[in-house]
Chain A
Amino acid sequence: MPSTIPKSPFVAGFWAGMPFIAVGFPFSVFFGIVATEAGLSIAQASGFSLVVVAGASQFTALQLMIEDAPVWSVVAAALAVNLRMAMYSASLQPHLGSAPFWHRAFVAYLNYDSSYAISMARYEQNPPLNVREKVRFFIGTVSLMTPLWFLGTFLGAIFGKSILVGIDIDFAMPILFLALVAPMVKTLAHLAAAVTSIIAALLLAFLPSGTGLLVAAALAMIVGAEIERRRGR
């Protein structure tokens, strides 16, 4: 089917996802290394990335497994880290809710931080996309990142510490997420929500991993929505 649009939503999503590969791929290699060093088999380390597809929660689980925590508490802590994705799921619903069931089922599997943030940034921009285009854009953002996430974990697990590269890319992840979210701050309500999120997340950092962020995010959403209700959009 020939496309009359100069740049298809899939291709646009593909390119929008590129900068995050520089962060995500080394992150997955690192997970593979740490997981096998901790005692997981290559299959288990790779299985983690394939089945869970959520780096922060995988590292949380691994850390607790290294400490020999009970199975239920490993799972509970890791899931607390992932609960923010329920908010992602809810905020994608107005955009993708009318897509076919299996499209939504697929998007749900790969709804991680970067794919969500990149897609939402585009959905809120002009020109607006229709629902088919929104799904294609989303698939574009995950089309390279996801296979590389699996491959990176596998390579890290196989080669272990011998490929631990000396490049420090820790700084890139916060920078890229800030670069994504800063342009989304368009109104006073957005700004107030972002500031609330930062302050509350820092104040609540003592809570078990993931839970402080959840409370901070809920507070920030209330602040944003309340300011919008009083001032209008």
Chain B
Amino acid sequence: MSYSETQIWAIIVIMGICTYMIRFSFLGLIGKRDLPEWILRHLRYTPVAVLPGLVAPLVLATDANGQMDPTLIAAAVATSLIGWWRKGLFPGAMAGIATFFALNALL
């Protein structure tokens, strides 16, 4: 790494300010004005639209040998199915963690 002290701090501060502006954007500037229904309809899907796509590449990531981790994939499937069926964080998380450790112990 060959940046000057100033350049490093510039990266940190600019990233911080811009990240804050991204987070503040809609929440801060629109305030309590009501958004049009078609926008709200899209926003209702934000969590289910972002988080699965954020996680999927992590679940299917390959190691240095180009191999996927079947225990992680099984744990992810178990978490999704049990979490969806039982409609709660803990049943899904427990199912996933149990699957992960059980398969790692067996294989």
Contacts and interface: CB of A to CB of B under 8 A. Distances in A.
Interface of A: 16, 19, 38-40, 44, 47-48, 51-54, 57, 61, 65-66, 68, 71, 74-75, 78-79, 82-94, 96-98, 101, 104-105, 107-109, 111, 113, 116-117, 120-121, 171-185, 189-190, 193-198, 200-202, 205, 213, 216-218, 220-225, 228-229
A104 B1 contact: no
Given A66-B1, A74-B11, A89-B23, 6 more contacts: A84-B50, A173-B55, A179-B93, A181-B51, A194-B49, A213-B50
A190 B54 contact: no
28 contacts: A19-B93, A44-B9, A57-B19, A61-B11, A82-B22, A86-B22, A87-B43, A89-B25, A91-B44, A93-B35, A94-B35, A97-B31, A104-B24, A117-B47, A120-B46, A171-B71, A174-B59, A174-B76, A175-B79, A179-B83, A180-B83, A181-B48, A194-B48, A194-B49, A198-B52, A202-B57, A202-B60, A213-B50
Contact of B27 (A54, A83, A89, A184): A89
Given A47-B12, A57-B15, A104-B31, A91 B47 contact: yes
